[in-house]
Structures are given as structure tokens and as C-alpha cells.
Amino acid sequence: MKIFDDLTTTRRDAMKGSLGAASLAAMGTGVAVPVAITMASVAATTDAAQAQPASGGAASLTQPATNIDMHPGYARASAQMAYLWGWPMVNMINRRNRITQAPYPGLVGGILPAAPRGQIGMLHDYIEPSETFVTCPNQDVVYGLGFFDLDEEPVVIQVPNFGNRFWVYALYDQRTDQFGRLGKPYGTKPGFYLLVGPKWKGRKPAGITEVVRSSTRLANAIPRIFQDDTPEDRRAIQSVINQVLVYPLKDFTGKMKTIEWAKVTNIPAPPQDASSGETKWVVPEKFFDQFGEVLDNVDPLPGEEAMYGQFRLLMTLAAKDPELKKLLVETAVESEEKIIHPFFLWKNNGHAAGNGWNRSTNNAQWGIDYYNRTGTSKSNMFDNRPNETQYFYTDFDGAGGQLTGGTSYEITFPAGQEPPVNGFWSLTLYNDKHLFHANPLKRYSLGTKNKNLKRNADGSLTLYAGAKSPGGDKETNWIPAPDGTFSLYIRAYWGKQGILDGSWKPPVIRKTG
């Protein structure tokens, strides 16, 4: 079984009729323009309907003509918008294609949870620093991962009794929006939850606690279960995570199934090269070979119909014109560099949070916020909802200088001003690839999970970051950095009001040497 084959690039030849029409004159200028045009068109149609007899509504609108020879400038503008809009959804397709190659639930190369379609794999401890499946991994939780086709095969996800332990099952549709509300913040009860797709029409089977519907057939689950850094908690968590399972509805018996995740045979795979950064999930040269699958399987949100009509027209014409198809590929390559790549910088993510930090915006409930959806898909895919987690991140110190391992820094939370949370918080350090910097201490984050942090005499908490140890008893509060550039990242799980309303500000990062 070759788990790390080249990305699958299947294409569905189902160029359906256009779903709407709108001006494309400004499509290449920004993500908000097409929506504004669409809404203006809707408003104009509404006004006309008030003045004249109804004539069939949207179905009667003139659709894009297909007997045209689209000129390159228009095609490029349309292709550019398609690329930035569709990038997260093609990303999801390729992650699914890779992960579901697993022959059984387990860890690929002993590192990454994976499972066949309709199942889930679980870690039994923190994720290894060598993983490259996703940027900005978390070393406060035990993760799981699985992908599903919920119209083809509804699945049961088990919720064991987590007691007082924080947990949340993040369920994502193909747009990377979360669906369902399963977790401690929601008071979810232990039981069996049925995940279904948009076209599923069955009844809730006996023994199922609740039916949870995704808006797209492609979906995935990433459970997160808090674990502190003590050996005692690593042992205590095993019995509960061994009941975190997903399986097809046909295998449901009404009784909790168990897998001892720590004893599952690892799935062989070539070693990963973390120095290259995250796996390249979107290949620009192949993007438009996969884009049709997105249009076929992800229904438009309200207001997106006109955009879909333009994208379908583009795909229909490109299928018949090799020169146009070549132009689409060229545009994808250019867009990857000029539009997608800048999202890797934290200053281009979310909005300012104070003291040189940015914070996440609309995370995992993107709707038509294409800017932040695409930005997060590039920089740190699979956020939780804002009420579940808020993320604060920066590449710079408080004076605006780039964080670098050659300099030492301190981050002080005044007494009573650590992130106000009902769950937990942490400060994590990432290298220039947004991955962990492997270090002899095997320490990548500090926060609630750590039981030996040393506080200052006034009750404040100072954490240290840099390639050089701060020495003495300060080393307990130190996160080692690479010699080169790095970034810092605060997670606030299940935030209290100060996190939710933005009144809490992350601390200043000060250079000390």
C-alpha cells in the first residue's frame, strides 16, 4: 500500500448547465466583488419584480452563452477568482485522497492518524514534531483524523464519557466550515451520533443519540482531547480515547466499540521531510483538473449561483479549447505565488489583536468570507469555531522586529491576565514552515498543560523563547527556537468573555538579548 503516492487528480466530466449569471468585469480584483455584484443583481431583480409581473424568478434569467470565444483577459480574471475561491475545497479533496489510502485505522509511519473512508484513526499521545500533514499542530491535545462520503455512507461517531476533561469533535464540510456541535462547550452527552450528508433521507435509527448533517458529502472529523504533560494523565486518557471511533452505520450495534490505539500496527510509509514544510496539497498545474469535482459536489451558498455559472462556463469552454486550458494552468501557477503564498504571513491573517499580534476571524464558520477561509487553509488549516478556540499569532516582537532564534525574548502575562478560558490555553513556537522545531527538550508549547511552570513573585508568568536557554530555573519556562526565523501562536480554548469580545490583549513580546 503506497500511502504517499502522487496526489490523485480525478476529474468528473459533469459540466452541468449554468446556475446563474453576473458581470465578471471586476472578478480579478478581490474576493468581495463577485458577492457584491451578485447581491446587487439580486436587488435589481427584486426591484424589477415589484414593477412587473413575475416571470419565473431565477430560472428565467439569461444564462451565460456557451458559443463564445472568451478572450484571454476575461478568462484570466475568472480563473483567478476560481483559484482563490476553490483552493480550500481542492485542498480537502487531496487530503481525503491521501488519508483514505490507509488499509486500516492506524498511524501512517507511526506519526499521522489515518483510516479508510468512513473510519477514523487516533493518536494515543501528542503529535510528533516530524508531521507535515498540517501546519500549526497542537501539543495540548490528542488528535484523531478521518474522512467520509456522507451521502454514500453515513457514519456513527462515538462519544464516550470524558468526565471533566476538555474535548471537542471538530467536524468539517468540504468548504472547511464546521458543522454539528459535539464537545464539552456544548454539554454533549455520551452516546452515538450519526453523521449524514445533505441528501441523506433516512430516519434516526434506534440507539442513535442525534443526527448531525453536513452541507457537503465530503466531510472529515478531527477530535481534540486535552491531555496534560504528566505521565499520569497519559495513562489516564487511554481508556477514554480507545472509545473514540467512527464507523459506517451498517456496523452500528448500539454498543461502544473499542480500539487500543497505542497497540494498533503502524501503517508503513517513507520517512517525512519536515524541512520542506507542509505537504503540498494543492498543485496549481492540476487544480483545474479537479475543480469540476468541487462544482459538482458542493452546492452554492445563497448568492453564489452567479459565480458558479461563470465557473461552469469557464470549465465548459476550456474542455474544448487547449489554448484556454493552458491559460487556466498559467493563471493557477501565478495565483499560487501572488495570492495564496502571502497568506502564510500572519499579518495577512485575521485582524489586529494588539501588541503586534493578529487574531483569527470567522474561523471554521466562513460563509462567504473567502479571504479568511483561503488564508487559514494556507497558513493553519482546520481551525475550531471562535467559541471553541481563538487563535493569536505573530511573526514579530513588540517593536515590530522579525522573531529570530539569534535573539532572546520574554513574554510576560501579568498576574490575572493569562488568557481567560473555560478550557485551556497555550503558547506554541513554530519554525518558518509553521511546524515544530525539533529540540532536545521535546518542548514545543507551554501553558495550562504544564504543571511545573514557575511564576514571578508578583504572580505574573514569564515565558521565554529563543535558541539560547535563559538558564537556571528560567529554563522550565523556555520554548527552544530554531536559529532562523520563527513565529509564536496562542490558543485559547473555550474562551471567556474577554477572549470572545476582544477585550483581552495578548502580551508584548520583548527582546532581552
**C-alpha cell read off for 404:** 529570530
DSSP 3-state of 513? coil
Percent over 70 (pLDDT), the chain: 88
Q: Does the pLDDT at position 22 exceed 90?
A: no
| Contact (CB, 8 A) for 387 and 185 | yes
Output the pLDDT for position 60.
Answer: 82
Positive or negative: CA dihedral 470, 472, 475, 476: negative
What lies within 8 Å, CB to CB, of 263 at 6+ separation is none
**C-alpha cell read off for 214:** 453536513
Output the pLDDT for position 232.
Answer: 98
pLDDT class of 47 with cuts at 50, 70, 90: very low
What lies within 8 Å, CB to CB, of 407 at 6+ separation is 397, 401, 466, 511, 513
Output the pLDDT for position 409.
Answer: 98
Output the pLDDT for position 56.
Answer: 54
How many residues would you count in the chain? 513
Which pLDDT tens digit goes with each residue over 475-495? 999 999 999 999 999 999 999
Output the pLDDT for position 176.
Answer: 98
Q: Does the pLDDT at position 24 exceed 90?
A: no
Which pLDDT tens digit goes with each residue over 296-313? 999 999 999 999 999 999
Average pLDDT of the chain is 90
Which pLDDT tens digit goes with each residue over 235-292? 999 999 999 999 999 999 999 999 999 999 999 988 777 788 999 999 999 999 999 9
Query: How much is the average pLDDT of 93-114?
Result: 97
| Contact (CB, 8 A) for 463 and 474 | no
Q: Going by DSSP bridges, is the β-strand pair 218-226/141-149 parallel, antiparallel, or unpaired?
A: antiparallel
For residues 214 and 23, which has the higher predicted lDDT (pLDDT)? Answer: 214
Least confident of 50-64, 206-220, 278-292: 50-64
Determine the Cα–Cα distance for residues 429 and 407; give it in Å rounded to an integer: 14
pTM score: 0.88
User: Within a 10 A sphere around the Cβ of 194, how many other Cβ atoms?
Assistant: 22
User: Within a 10 A sphere around the Cβ of 34, how many other Cβ atoms?
Assistant: 25
Determine the Cα–Cα distance for residues 108 and 99; give it in Å rounded to an integer: 9
For residues 42 and 123, which has the higher predicted lDDT (pLDDT)? Answer: 123
Which pLDDT tens digit goes with each residue over 439-474? 999 999 999 999 999 999 999 999 999 999 999 999
Determine the Cα–Cα distance for residues 197 and 485; give it in Å rounded to an integer: 43
Output the pLDDT for position 58.
Answer: 60
Least confident of 79-88, 119-128, 266-275, 423-432: 266-275
Q: What are phi and psi of 495, to 5 degrees?
A: -65, 150
- Among 168, 129, 169, smallest CA distance to 146 is for 169
**C-alpha cell read off for 377:** 487553509
Q: Does the pLDDT at position 427 exceed 60?
A: yes
Determine the Cα–Cα distance for residues 418 and 429; give it in Å rounded to an integer: 17
Which pLDDT tens digit goes with each residue over 363-419? 999 999 999 999 999 999 999 999 999 999 999 999 999 999 999 999 999 999 999
Q: Give the DSSP letter of residue 358.
A: E
